[in-house]
Amino acid sequence: MINVAIDGPVGAGKSTIAKECAKRLGCIYVDTGALYRTVGLYCKRNGIEISQENSGNIENAIKSGLKLEIKLENGTQLVFMNGENVSEEIRLPEVSMLASAVSAIPCVRSFLLDTQRKVAKENNVIMDGRDIGTVILPDAQVKIFITAKPEIRAKRRYDELIAKGIDAKFEDVLNDLNTRDYNDSHRAEAPLKQADDAILLDTSDFDFEQSVCAVINLIEKGN
């Protein structure tokens, strides 16, 4: 199986780039952020406080009450929470913060570990997240750490939200992005960081097509 690990901060374009590369290369694209978003949404819906102190309750609740499934429909990943398709709802900006908060809780990370490894074991995947190259798939044949300047990432994320008809302010998007990046890279468990053997790709000056070609090049070279 070919496993490609793509990590990087918020709004670096990981998911859109990885999805297009997977389509061109005939692999499956796995967006692992969607899993953390679903756990965040589950906690919100069930009034479960997200904090380290409450991690025992979080663990019990997700182990006994959350069935999380990934399904692929025409190359698009859908996420189901106890049978309900939550793929759209988890994209809302308020769910981003919940996802970042639950992702710092160790039992949540271990709850999601097997789901991610299983799909990579059974398929040729391009998987994106924060700890794919460092923790989830340490033996991936290709590891790429995609980044771009914060203002550029915030602008891309802002444009995406506006295009979807979601009301947003650029300053809020930039602040959320900086806060999430700080939290994601400073947590004790599996923090966001470039794996020692990952290649750094800064897409600040690249358009979408250039970014896709750069990643495909790296994948083809690395195999």
Binding residues vs ligand DC (CB under 6 A): 10, 32-33, 36-37, 96, 99-100, 103, 129-132, 180, 184
Distance CA 140, CA 123 (A): 12
Distance CA 89, CA 58 (A): 21
3 state SS of 197: coil
* CB closer to ligand DC, 77 vs 220: 77
DSSP labels, 55-104 = HHHHHHHHHHH--EEEEEETTEEEEEETTEE-TTGGGSHHHHHHHHHHTT
**From the CB of 153, what's the least distance to ligand DC, in Å?**
11
**From the CB of 131, what's the least distance to ligand DC, in Å?**
5
Distance CA 153, CA 147 (A): 8
* CB closer to ligand DC, 103 vs 218: 103
* CB closer to ligand DC, 20 vs 131: 131
* CB closer to ligand DC, 185 vs 210: 185
Chain centre distance of CA 104: 14
* CB closer to ligand DC, 149 vs 217: 149
**From the CB of 100, what's the least distance to ligand DC, in Å?**
4
Torsion angle in degrees (nearest 10) through CA of 209, 145, 177, 137: 120
Count of other CB atoms within 10 angstroms of residue 74: 4
Count of other CB atoms within 10 angstroms of residue 63: 10
* CB closer to ligand DC, 87 vs 96: 96
**From the CB of 76, what's the least distance to ligand DC, in Å?**
15
Distance CA 198, CA 219 (A): 12
**From the CB of 170, what's the least distance to ligand DC, in Å?**
18
CA angle 58, 136, 178 (to 5 degrees): 70
**From the CB of 39, what's the least distance to ligand DC, in Å?**
9
